[in-house]
Each structure stands twice: as C-alpha cells, then as structure tokens.
Amino acid sequence: MRLYPLEALAAAVLTAVLTIPILGIDIVVDGPRITLTGEALPVLIAMAAVFVVRLFQEPLKTAIGWVRMDRLLPSPERMTAYRPMILTGLIVMALIWPFTVSRGAVDIATLALIYVMLGLGLNIVVGFAGLLDLGYVAFYAVGAYSYALLAQYFGLSFWTCLPVCVALAALTGCLLGFPVLRLRGDYLAIVTLGFGEIIRLLLNNLDQLTGGPDGIGNIPKPTLFGLEFARRPSQEGGVTFHDFFGLNYSGGDTVIFLFLLALALVLFTLFVINRLIRMPLGRAWEALREDEIACRSLGLNPTVIKLSAFTLGASFAGFAGAFFAARQGFINPESFTFIESAVVLAIVVLGGMGSQLGVILAAIALTVLPEVARQFAEYRMLIFGLVMVLMMIWRPQGLLPAARPRLKLPQ
Amino acid sequence: MSALLAVSGLSMRFGGLLAVDGVSFNVERDQVMAIIGPNGAGKTTVFNCISGFYRPTTGRVVLDGEPIDGLPSHQIARRGLVRTFQNVRLFKNMTVVENLLVSQHIQLVTNLWSGLVKTPGYRSAERHALERAAFWLDKVELLALANREAGNLAYGQQRRLEIARCMITNPKLLLLDEPAAGLNLQETRQLDRLIIELRQAHGVSVLLIEHDMSLVMGISDKVLVMEYGRPIAVGTPAEVRANPEVIRAYLGEA
C-alpha cells in the first residue's frame, strides 16, 4: 500500500486557495453596514477531506474496485424474465397503496407518475431513436397550456382537451422536427435547447393570451364520467362524486382520484410504447440509430423515421402536460424551465436508455427522494450531480439497461 | 428492350479532384457486370453516384427507363437499386432476422393504428415478413444463426447477410462493393455460387466492384476497367484480359 503524503499536502493547500473565497469569507450584514469576516472551519473541513482522500488514494481505489454494481443489479437477460412479475407487482401495489397512506404521499406519487410519463416519452426520442433532445419541456408546456387555455377561453373539459393537447404537442414536435432533424448529435441538442427556451419566453411574454408570468389559474380538475370532485358542483345542475355515491365530501378523494388517473395514463403510455417498439417503425428507429447510411441504402427515409420518433415523443409530453395542468389547477412559465428538461433527460439516462422499467424506477427515485430528504434540500443539486458521476463510473448503461424485445424466428 | 441501367457521361468532381471523368456504360437485364481497376480509380465513387449517396457533377443515370440521378438514395433504393458497402454495414446490435425485417420496412405497409391494435392484416404481414426472412436466410446458409446478434457473426457470414438483406427488398439491380474482400478461398467460392444463383433463379442483375480476378472473370458477362477516374476498356472478360491498355494499367509500362 502506497501513501501519497506530499501530493496530499499539495492538494490540501490548493483546496485552501480555491475554497477561501467561497467558503472562508462570510458577509455580515449589520444594519446599513456590511462587513466581511473570515471563517476558518469550512475551509479546514474541505482541506482535511481532500488531504485524507488524496493520502489514501490507492486503498480507496481498490475499495471502489470491489464494489461491482453489475453484481448487485441483475443482468439484462435475467431482467426480461422478471419483467412481467415486477410490473404486475408494481401495478397491484400502486392500486392499493394510495388508500393506506397520507394525502401528501399520494400527491408526491402523482407527481412521480407525471415524470414517469415524461421519461417514457423522452425515452422514445433519446433511447430508441438516439436523438438528443434538450428542449423536451417545450412540448410539456404546449400540452399544459393547451388545456389551460382551452378550458379558460372555451370552457372545454379535461377529457375533450386531452386528445387536442396531444395533437397540438405532436404538431409542435413535427413542426420543430422538420427543419432541425437534418442536424445530428450536439447540434440537434443545441437547437432543441433553444426551442425549449423560445416556448417558455413566448409563454412569459404573450401576456394577453397566457397571462405572462402570472400564469393561468382555476384550471378545472378532471371529472370521472362527468362526476366532479368538489364540495359543490361548479355549474348549475352538475353532479359531484360524493353526492352521486352518497358519501361524505373528503378532499382526499380528489388526490386519490388524480393518482389513479395518472396511473391509468401511465399504463396507457406504457402499452402504446410497448406496441410501438415491436412495430416496424420501432425497428426502424433502432436501425436508424445504428446506421443511417445502411437504412438509406435499403429505402428507409431517415427524415420521416426521425420525425415520427420526435412527433410521438412530443405527443406523450403533451399528454403529461395536460394532466399536469389539470392536477395543479394553476400553471405559469416557471414550471417549464430548462431544469425540467434536464431532470427528464437525467431520468432517461439514469434508468438506462431505451429501458422502460429503468425509466420508471429512475423517475420515481428522482421525484420521491428529494421530497423525502427535505432537510437536505440545499444539497439537492450536489447529490444529484454526485449520483450522476457515480453512475457514469459504475453503471454507464443505466440502472436497468434496456433488454429490447427481440423478434425471434421460430426454429 | 433498353438496358436496365444506363450510365452516360458520369463525372464527379471534389474540389480540384476529378474523381470520375466521363464514365458511360450499360447494364443489361440478367447480366453480371464488373468494374475493376487499381485502388483509387473511382470505382466506389461511381457506385455512390449511381446509388444516390453523391450527386454527380454531370451525367445521366437511367434505371429501367427512368432517370434516377439527383434523387435521394432511399428513393433510388425503392425503385429497385440496392447496394452493399465495402465495409459491411449491418445493424450490429440487432439480430440476424431483425436485419432482414428492417429491410422489408418499405414493403410492410403498416400504419400506426393497425400496429397498435394488432389488426389481422398487421399480424399476417409480420408473419409473411418472417417467412420471407427465413427463406433468404436459408438461401445464404444462415438460418441456424437467425436469432444471433448480427455483430457476432463471422466476417464471411456478415457479408452474406448483407446480400440477403438487399435481396429481400426484391431489387432489379444489385450493386456489390467488393463482396469478396476479406473472404477466404472457400467463402469466395460460396459467394460465386450465390451470385450466379441470384441471377438465374431470382432475375436480378448484378453490378460489382471486385479485386479478386478469378471471381470477376468467372462470373461476369461484361467488365469495365477504370483508371484515374476514366474508363479505359470495356468488354467480355476475355477481351479485357487481352487489352494492352489494361495490361499496362495493371502491370505498368513494359
């Protein structure tokens, strides 16, 4: 075992130089006077940490080498066998679970399900078709605002609006995709990033239409076959859920209903995507990701195939967006910042590109963990970054790497 | 009847380099034609121009009476002209049979809806596609490896799979870019038999680039020799072999 005392010392000194301006100086506001005071402790902690890690560099590396993630998590081949069991288990648990826990927990779970929908949708674009889309939130915003505006100006219900929102988001995806899909890789990522920002800025500045930064409020909640979830019907002659079934009104019903609705939407999404990837179109996405030139030489039109992935991905974002608007009852452009795109992308990467179960687990982890660890809220981004770095070292293929359904030729 | 493929006055200029200069030739129906020539003679560039990967600077390419120069490559492929590549371009992470299903994409007319609800028409189309894949795998002797990943096949097998992947699109003309490169003697003979069978039993014409002279001379009806982007001789294998220009190009000035 070799130790590195000299390197460790040098690293510690360098840490001191780097951290003093950030950690070592405190601003004290005393009435009108602002003074700077030195604070040694945080700097010393940072120096000590760097010193120790540097000193025991080699034994630490061996220790890290012992942790083999692929032994802890099952291999893709074995995952395929477990898949139906895991899925059924998850669905049954999800159906029973909201009746046993608090309202807050169900609410967070609903949020997690929205991210599952977004993750699954982006998975089509990034995971299957291999197109890096950094502006996915734009389509989410289009879906949410479509519902909010249609409900506000025309008084349409959630169920009428849902297909319209999906269609509008798909149309946006198609319109954006048409000029930009000839770009590849990084260039596509930058254009989509810009597009995401354009949509947000439009929503922010079209005051007359979208209410600008004030957003849109009083968005009606979804109904269950026309039954409203409210204390009193919103319109003359409307029927509420608790009246119809002769129950006492409880605010918790709404939350549970929204959760179950989100679950239904997720299952629908899963069903559609599962069919899609087994279809000729899904195979073409994969083939195009592997070799575009070979695809062209076989008569596959790359533009159409990429556009279909982009459009379908966008339509699922619109789907999730409409539900998000309905659940929140209030939306403003703040909900559709770049960080949302980044989180959804992180869900896809963390879960394993092209892996649906992985994306579901990652979406749940990335929405539930920050809520559970509220007291560490300040360190959220730090931990987030750390997790991503560790993932790239130990399991670059994602938590549950994709086991693509392979079409077998019966022998 | 007119020629299946008629190339006239084809030139391709890359900046100051004239890679292909005034190449004209015809490929007749049910014919195997070879393009030979030293490395860098512009053979692959001719292929890229014909198959739409390059837009020729000048010249006409007519397939079955219809001009195809300037069309995007996927549309040329749909008109029945498909090609293989010098360095094999399979979908390496997909299985062998999936490679053959992707190339049937344009024949599988399935819209989104029929796939989502799995209509009977969709099911039978998928079944039919699998049967066709099995038929061609049998032809190229890869049936036993159907569910293997394409990237794991031996090199010779990958070459044969690439040909099967082209043939399953029902082409009129098959372009093979150095199909025997990297194959051993036995595999080359196998390829020889395969190309002859494709022409006789499946009515496809073949245009190939090849350096293996025994293969070229054995199966070709017509040979075009190129040097520095220009055609220097065209004729039957025997004629070409006797041509002093060709001997000079291959062996150097006496």
Domain-by-domain residue ranges, chain B? Answer: 1-80+172-254, 88-170
Give the model's confidence band at B24: pLDDT under 50 very low, under 70 low, under 90 confident, else very high: very high
Rounded to whole angstroms, how far apart are CA atoms A45 and A144?
Answer: 46
For A58, A78, A352, the CA distances from A68, given in Å and listed in that order, are 17, 17, 17
Rounded to whole angstroms, how far apart are CA atoms B146 and B133?
Answer: 9
**Nearest CA of chain A to the CA of B248: how many Å?**
35
| Burial (0-12, 13-18, 19+ Cβ within 10 Å), B61 | buried
**What are phi and psi for residue A22, nearest 5 degrees?**
-90, -50
Rounded to whole angstroms, how far apart are CA atoms B102 and B105?
Answer: 5
Greater pLDDT, A376 or B179: B179
Contact B104/B169 with Cβ under 8 angstroms? Answer: yes
Structure tokens at B175: 């372009």
Nearest residue of A to residue B144, measured between CA atoms: A411
Instruction: Enumerate the residues of chain A whose CB falls inside 8 A of the CB of residue B112.
Output: 279, 281
Q: For the structural domain made of B88-170, what CATH number should be given?
A: 3.40.50.300
Q: Is the pLDDT of residue B224 over 90?
A: yes
CB contact under 8 A, B115 and A296: no
CA atoms within 13 A on the CB side of A396: 2
Q: For the structural domain made of B1-80+172-254, what CATH number should be given?
A: 3.40.50.300
Contact B203/B64 with Cβ under 8 angstroms? Answer: no
**In this predicted complex, what is the ipTM?**
0.89
Q: How much is the pTM?
A: 0.82
Bridge partners (DSSP) of residue B67 are: B62
Query: What is the DSSP secondary structure assignment for residue A212, as one 8-state letter?
Result: G
Q: Is the pLDDT of residue A399 over 80?
A: no
Domain boundaries, chain A: 5-67, 78-394
Nearest to B169 among A272, A294, A299 (CB): A299
Instruction: Enumerate the residues of chain A whose CB falls inside 8 A of the CB of residue B137.
Output: 409
Greater pLDDT, A72 or A328: A328
Q: For the structural domain made of A78-394, what CATH number should be given?
A: 1.10.3470
Question: Where is mean pLDDT largest: A62-66, A105-109, B5-9?
Answer: B5-9
Rounded to whole angstroms, how far apart are CA atoms B156 and B154?
Answer: 6
Greater pLDDT, A24 or A290: A290
* Binding-site residues on chain A for chain B (CB distance < 8 A): 272, 275-276, 278-281, 283-284, 286-287, 290-291, 293-302, 406-409, 411
pLDDT for position B1: 57
